[in-house]
Amino acid sequence: MSKKLPLFKSDREAEKFLDQDLSEYLSADNFAPYSFEYRPKQKSVNLRISEELLSAVRAAARRRGIPYQRYIREALEVALRQHRAP
């Protein structure tokens, strides 16, 4: 049977506790099988655009409440869908 984990008054106290051997506090009963699902990694792209265009993109993204990088990606996806459409 494993020891019960103590309650901590601060993050520093918890960090100090985690620096020690925790084998007395853990047993096989504390663990369960788990599988992780990872999304495929996206590629980074460097793009040179004018300050005016970047300001306009940031303003449009702000109005939609999303990060400007996501706004650019979504705009590219929409443009490609329209270009592919018959």
The whole-angstrom separation of Cα 43 and Cα 13 is 40
The DSSP secondary structure of 16-57, one letter per residue, reads HHHTS--GGG--GGG--------PPPPPP------HHHHHHH
Please tell me the predicted confidence (pLDDT) of residue 1: 53
pTM: 0.52
Tens digit of pLDDT for each residue in 35-58? 888 778 888 999 999 999 999 999
